[in-house]
Amino acid sequence: MAMPMGVRGKPLRVRVYDFRRPDKFSKDQMRTVEMLYGHVARLCTTYFSGYLRGTVQFNVLSVEQSTYGEFLSTVSTPSIIGIVGLPPLKGKILLVTDPIIAFAMLDRLLGGSGGVPERVRPLTEIEQTVMQRVLTGLLANLADGWRGIVDLTPSLDSMESNPLFAQVVAPNEMVLTVTLEVRLGAQRGQVYFCMPYLLLEPVLPKLSPQQWLLVQQGETAATGEESERQLELEVGEVPVELSVTLGSTRLTLRELLTLEVGDVLRLQAPVKGELTVQVEGICRFRGRPGTLHRHLAVRVTAVQEEEEEVEAGG
C-alpha cells in the first residue's frame, strides 16, 4: 500500500481512527478532568489521613476514555463496586475500589494496622456497612472537588462485588475513567471513577483549562475568606483575663503583720476617679466602680488610646 503524499510530495502523517469507538472527549477536557481530580486527590489525602489516623496518599494515575464494556473487562471479581448517582447530572457512575486497599482501610478502621487477608474474598455484612461509610466520605470529597464546575450531591445507591451486575450504560457507550493510586502504609491500590459520556455531556463545555483556572482563583479567594472567618470565630472563643485595679498603697512589713479585721487601708486613688481596666495585663479601657445586682462591677467609660497605652507601657 502506497504512503499518501502531500501537495509538495512529503508523506502525510495518518492517524488511525476506529469508527466503532470514536473519541468523545478532547485533550483539553481530559487535561481539565486530570487537574480536577488532582484537587479531589489532595482533598482525599487530607480527609483519609485523619479518618484512618495514618498516612494516606492519593494521586492521579491516569485519565483514559474507552467503551464501558472495555472498562468492565478490566475489573476483577470480587471487587468493591459502588453505583453512584450524581444529581443534578442524569445517570450513574461507578466507583470501584481495589480490594487490597479496601481491606487495608477496613483493617485500620476495625482496630488493625492496615493488613490485608491472604485471599481476596467478598465483604461481610459488617464490612459492607463500614465500607459504605468510607465511600460516602470519598464521595463528599468528590463533590468538593467538582464545586465550581457543577454542584453535585453524590449518593451511594448500591454496592456490588461482580462487575456483571454493574450495568449503568450499554457496553458500547463511551466512558471516561479516572484512576487514583492510593497508598496506605505498605499497601498500594487503585480507586476508579468510571463516568459515562452521556452523564458528563451537559458539563463538557465547562471542562476547559480557562474555566478551571477561574474556578481555582474563586476557590482560593473563598478559602481565604472562609479561613479568616473561621479564625475570627476560634479566636473570639479564647478566654482572657480581665482585671480592674481599685487602687494601691504601700505598707511596711511591720504594718502588714499587725493588720486586724476592721482596719482601713487608704488607697492612692480618688473616690470618684476613673479606674484602669486591664486585659491580660495590658491597659485597654477606663471605667468607674459600682455595683450590679449586689455584685462589684465597673462601667467602661473610655477605650484606652494607643498613644496613652504606649505611655503607660513606657
Whether 99 and 123 have beta carbons less than 8 Å apart is answered as: no
Q: Is residue 15 part of a domain?
A: no
pLDDT of residue 46: 93
Query: What are 257's three cell numbers?
Result: 503583720
Whether 191 and 96 have beta carbons less than 8 Å apart is answered as: yes
Q: Is residue 182 part of a domain?
A: yes
Regarding whether 186 and 277 lie in a shared domain, the answer is no
pLDDT of residue 182: 95
Whether 100 and 183 have beta carbons less than 8 Å apart is answered as: no
Whether 43 and 144 have beta carbons less than 8 Å apart is answered as: yes
Regarding whether 48 and 181 lie in a shared domain, the answer is yes
CATH number of the domain enclosing 167: 3.40.1550.10
Number of domains in the chain: 2
pLDDT of residue 192: 96
Whether 139 and 146 have beta carbons less than 8 Å apart is answered as: no
Q: Is residue 39 part of a domain?
A: yes
Cα separation, 102 vs 209, whole angstroms: 33
What H or E segment, with its residue span, contains residue 279? strand 275-279
Q: Please, what sign has the CA dihedral across residues 147, 152, 157, 160?
A: negative
pLDDT of residue 314: 45
Regarding whether 155 and 53 lie in a shared domain, the answer is yes
Regarding whether 34 and 171 lie in a shared domain, the answer is yes
Regarding whether 285 and 178 lie in a shared domain, the answer is no
Cα separation, 177 vs 95, whole angstroms: 10
Q: Count CB neighbours of 69 within 10 A.
A: 15
Cα separation, 59 vs 101, whole angstroms: 14
Q: Is residue 66 part of a domain?
A: yes
Regarding whether 218 and 278 lie in a shared domain, the answer is no
Regarding whether 145 and 66 lie in a shared domain, the answer is yes
pLDDT of residue 222: 46
Cα separation, 274 vs 301, whole angstroms: 8
Nearest to 40, CA basis, from 137, 143, 134, 133: 143
Whether 82 and 123 have beta carbons less than 8 Å apart is answered as: no
Nearest to 148, CA basis, from 226, 219, 225, 87: 219
Q: Count CB neighbours of 139 within 10 A.
A: 21
Domain region containing 141: 27-224
Q: Is residue 192 part of a domain?
A: yes
Regarding whether 286 and 213 lie in a shared domain, the answer is no
Regarding whether 217 and 118 lie in a shared domain, the answer is yes
Regarding whether 279 and 174 lie in a shared domain, the answer is no
Instruction: Determine the Cα angle at 38 with ends 189 and 143, to 5°.
Output: 95
Regarding whether 296 and 199 lie in a shared domain, the answer is no
Q: Is residue 139 part of a domain?
A: yes
pLDDT of residue 5: 53
pLDDT of residue 264: 82
Regarding whether 217 and 82 lie in a shared domain, the answer is yes
Beta bridge partners of 245: 276
How, if at all, do strands 174-184 and 187-196 pair?
antiparallel
Q: Is residue 119 part of a domain?
A: yes
Task: Map residue 277 onto helix, strand or coil.
Answer: strand
Per-residue pLDDT of the chain (314 residues; tens, 9 = 90+): 555 555 455 555 555 545 555 568 888 899 999 999 999 999 999 999 999 888 899 999 999 999 999 999 999 888 899 999 999 999 999 999 999 999 999 999 988 888 888 888 888 899 999 999 999 999 999 999 898 889 999 999 999 989 888 889 999 999 999 999 999 988 999 999 999 999 999 999 888 877 666 666 655 544 555 656 666 666 666 787 888 877 778 888 888 888 888 888 777 766 667 888 888 778 888 888 878 887 878 888 888 775 454 444 44
